[in-house]
Amino acid sequence: MDTLRAPPQTALTVLGIETSCDETAAAVLRGYPGAGSEILSNIVLSQIDEHAPYGGVVPEIAARAHIDHLDGIIRRALDEASVKLSDLDGIAATAGPGLIGGVMVGLMTGKTLAMATGKTLIGVNHLEGHALSPRMMEDAPFPYLLLLVSGGHCMLATVRGPGDYALHGETIDDAVGEAFDKVAKLLGLPYPGGPAVERWAASGDATRFALPRPLLDRKADDPHFLNFSLSGLKTAVRRAVEKEGGVENLNDHDIADVCASFQAAVADILARRCDQAMEIFCAQEGRPGSLVVAGGVAANQMLRTRLTHTAEAQGFTFVAPPLKYCTDNAAMIAWAGLERLALGQSDPLDLSARARWPLRDLTPPD
Ligand code: KG4
Ligand code: ZN
């Protein structure tokens, strides 16, 4: 069980359900916005073994696995939390974006539970789950600057509150996690690629391969000033490997050096963009604030260390969720639902699941 800072008299208890990709997850959390929370249970069943032979997530396999396991995972989450359905204040389920089959399984289950118990349903945007995740445990007051880096998304935004995001920049091609996964695949490393690349990079020479830092030198009047581009970097890695005679010619040293060089390029890109965005944040808010990093790639220890220094150099506080709350989990979905529930949101039982649902389409609860 993790820290409790919520005053018990105001605390809300929420069940979270997450099924948007390859993790079947349920969690029960008790807390209140601005006061942190107690994570009573956090069950994550990874489907990695089922997808690994294909080198990536297979949507049909993911949806079937969610159907097979979600009931049992929810039961475990409630049992471990010693919470009955009747004790809940709300049921929060991911309603998108993600693989539509999986999202439908989770949302439908959330709706059924809400209908059977009469509890409030909250359809949570998965990206908002990541974006608000540091507030579960850390004191991260609004507004803060968010770098969201996951397998499907890469963006910088000022977060003013639930549903209130001012986008500074986003990727124009691959997401950062996607780039890690593709580089790993190219090198024959296991899926998911991020953790594998990080492990290999630890013993590599980051200066061995000169890789590009796409879009980095854009001026403030360029429309891509704060955007990201990762696909050129991925192609440069492929060319570097080809120049060495192909992946079959690489020994362990070479693979470690490619991983380290790639990771260093990503770190430079992210650090520079955060630097620029922090300057804009200061100009807009009149003071530094927190730099929050969330999403699966935020689990990367080297990037966390680098961005901590970047933040501190501009007087910002670096905030990132503990590692287990960076990658997909249902505690962050319960928390985002809780923040919206506290603001009075309740979603209808005919709420639709969405494959696409950008943060910019969200609005604060009425
Ligand atoms: O947030 P997440 O669990 O799922 C999405 O919403 O996409 O992020 C998964 C992504 C994958 O691309 C994975 O390779 C990457 O996060 N990732 C990492 C690390 N751990 C996970 N990337 C770099 N370093 C890591 N340690
Ligand atoms: Zn995610």
Separation CA 176–CA 5 (nearest Å) = 33
Identify the pLDDT of residue 112: 98
Nearest one of 154, 197, 149, 159 to 295, comparing CA atoms: 149
Q: Which two tokens stand for residue 72?
A: 């049992």
Does the CB atom of residue 98 touch ligand 1 within 6 A?
no
Identify the pLDDT of residue 366: 83
Q: Is the pLDDT of residue 12 over 70?
A: yes
DSSP E strand stretches across 272-347: 290-294, 317-319
42-96 pLDDT per residue, tens: 999 998 888 888 878 889 999 999 999 999 999 999 999 999 999 999 999 999 9
Strand partners, 94: 124
Type of residue found at 133 = S
165-196 pLDDT per residue, tens: 999 999 999 999 999 999 999 999 998 899 99
Helix (H) or strand (E) holding 28: strand 23-31
Nearest one of 252, 263, 314, 266 to 288, comparing CA atoms: 314
Alpha helices in 142-248, H assignment, sequence order: 176-186, 193-201, 231-243
Q: Which two tokens stand for residue 237?
A: 């890695």
The β-bridge relationship of strands 154-161 and 37-46 is: unpaired
Does the CB atom of residue 181 touch ligand 1 within 6 A?
yes
Type of residue found at 304 = R
Most ligand 1 atoms within 8 A of CB, residue of 46, 180, 304 to mutate: 180
Report CA(176)–ligand 2 centroid distance (Å): 12
Structure confidence at residue 6 as a pLDDT band (50, 70, 90): low
Identify the pLDDT of residue 52: 83
Does the CB atom of residue 102 touch ligand 1 within 6 A?
no
Separation CA 31–CA 67 (nearest Å) = 29
Report CA(364)–ligand 1 centroid distance (Å): 27
Q: Determine what percent of the chain falls in helix, strand and coil, rounding each to the nearest 5.
A: 45, 20, 35
Helix (H) or strand (E) holding 122: strand 120-125
* Number of the ligand 1 atom closest to the C-alpha atom of 23: 3
Query: 152 versus 1: which is more confidently predicted?
Result: 152
101-128 pLDDT per residue, tens: 999 999 999 999 999 999 999 999 999 9
- CA distance to 20, 199, 221, per residue, from 101 (Å): 8, 32, 41
Query: Is the pTM for the entire model greater than 0.85?
Result: yes
Report CA(219)–ligand 2 centroid distance (Å): 31
Strand partners, 164: 161
The closest ligand to the CA of 174 turns out to be 1
Q: Which protein residue's CA is at the shortest distance from atom 7 of ligand 1?
A: 151
Cis peptide preceding 192, ω within 30 of 0: yes
Report CA(14)–ligand 1 centroid distance (Å): 25
The β-bridge relationship of strands 317-319 and 154-161 is: unpaired
- 149, HSE (Cβ side, Cα atoms, 13 Å): 29
Structure confidence at residue 238 as a pLDDT band (50, 70, 90): very high
Q: Which two tokens stand for residue 256?
A: 């470690």
Separation CA 200–CA 252 (nearest Å) = 9
